[in-house]
C-alpha cells in the first residue's frame, strides 16, 4: 500500500470532492470518494429490493459482482448491472439513504477493505469522506478536516443540483446530525488533522493551502 495518502474529511457538501479532485490532479495522484461506497450500496440495495433493516443481506451485497466502484480522475464512479449510475447515487435523497446504511457497524466493516484497496495500486491517493483520517487511513501523511458554514454548504449543493435551498438545508442538517452522532466511526476532526474553513476561499486557494503543507 502506498504511503502517499492525504485524507480529507468533513460534513456534507463541504467541497471534499472538488478539493480532492484538484489536489490529486496537482499531485499526479488518484482520488477516491469513500462516500461512493455507501451511496452505491444504498442505491443498489434499493434497486435490488434489499431493505436497510436486513443487515445480513446488505453485508452480502457489499461483495456482490452486481456493482463496482471505480476511481476516475473526474469522479468516483459506480456501476450497477453494466450501467453507470454515478449521477443517480449523487442525489441528496440517496445521500440520506447512504447515511442511513452507513450507521450499521457490520456494513462499515464490510466496506472498509474495499476502500483500503484503493491505495494498493496507485502511487498516491487523496481519500475523502467522514472517517478517512480516523479509521480508513489512520497512517496518512496529512489529514485535513474541511468545513464551511451550514448555509454556504446548502447553497452550494442547491446550486449544483438545481434544488430548493430550504429543502436541501433541512436534508443536509438531518444527514450531518446522523453522521456525527452515530456510534460507529462518527464524523469527527481527526486528532492530528489540519482544519480548513473554506468560507471566503476559492477552490484554488484551498487546494494551494493543502498542497503547501505537503511540500518538504
Query: Is 143 a residue that touches ligand DC (CB under 6 A)?
Result: no
Q: Which is nearer to ligand DC, 59 or 215 (CB)?
A: 59
| Angle at the Cα of 135 from the Cα atoms of 133 and 138, rounded to 5 degrees | 50
Pairing of the two strands 67-71 and 194-197? unpaired
Touching ligand DC, residues 106-135 (CB under 6 A): 129-132
Which residues, 6 or more positions from 140, have their beta carbon under 8 angstroms from its beta carbon? Answer: 5, 6, 7, 127, 132, 133
Touching ligand DC, residues 144-183 (CB under 6 A): 175, 179
Touching ligand DC, residues 13-72 (CB under 6 A): 33-35, 38-39
Select from 18-26, 52-60, 94-102, 153-161 the region that touches ligand DC (CB under 6 A). Answer: 94-102
Query: Is 102 a residue that touches ligand DC (CB under 6 A)?
Result: yes
- Residue 15's nearest CA partner among 209, 151, 206 is 206
Q: Which is nearer to ligand DC, 7 or 210 (CB)?
A: 7
Site residues for ligand DC per CB under 6 A: 12, 33-35, 38-39, 95, 98-99, 102, 129-132, 175, 179
Amino acid at each position: 500500500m502506498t504511503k502517499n495518502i492525504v485524507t480529507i474529511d468533513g460534513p456534507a457538501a463541504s467541497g471534499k470532492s472538488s478539493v480532492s479532485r484538484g489536489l490529486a490532479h496537482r499531485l499526479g495522484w488518484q482520488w477516491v470518494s469513500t462516500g461512493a461506497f455507501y451511496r452505491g450500496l444504498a442505491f443498489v440495495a434499493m434497486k435490488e429490493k434489499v431493505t436497510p433493516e436486513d443487515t445480513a443481506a446488505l453485508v452480502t451485497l457489499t461483495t456482490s459482482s452486481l456493482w463496482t466502484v471505480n476511481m476516475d480522475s473526474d469522479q468516483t464512479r459506480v456501476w450497477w448491472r453494466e450501467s453507470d449510475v454515478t449521477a443517480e447515487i449523487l442525489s441528496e435523497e440517496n445521500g440520506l439513504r447512504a447515511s442511513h446504511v452507513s450507521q450499521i457497524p457490520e456494513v462499515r466493516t464490510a466496506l472498509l477493505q474495499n476502500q483500503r484497496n484503493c491505495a494498493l495500486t496507485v502511487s498516491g491517493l487523496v481519500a475523502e469522506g467522514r472517517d478517512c483520517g480516523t479509521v480508513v487511513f489512520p497512517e496518512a501523511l496529512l489529514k485535513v478536516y474541511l468545513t464551511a458554514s451550514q448555509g454556504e454548504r446548502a447553497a452550494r449543493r442547491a446550486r449544483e443540483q438545481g434544488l430548493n435551498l430550504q429543502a436541501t438545508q433541512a436534508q443536509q442538517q438531518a444527514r450531518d446530525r446522523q453522521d456525527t452522532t452515530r456510534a460507529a466511526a462518527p464524523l469527527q476532526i481527526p486528532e492530528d488533522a489540519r482544519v480548513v474553513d473554506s468560507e471566503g476561499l476559492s477552490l484554488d486557494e484551498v487546494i494551494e493551502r493543502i498542497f503547501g503543507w505537503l511540500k518538504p
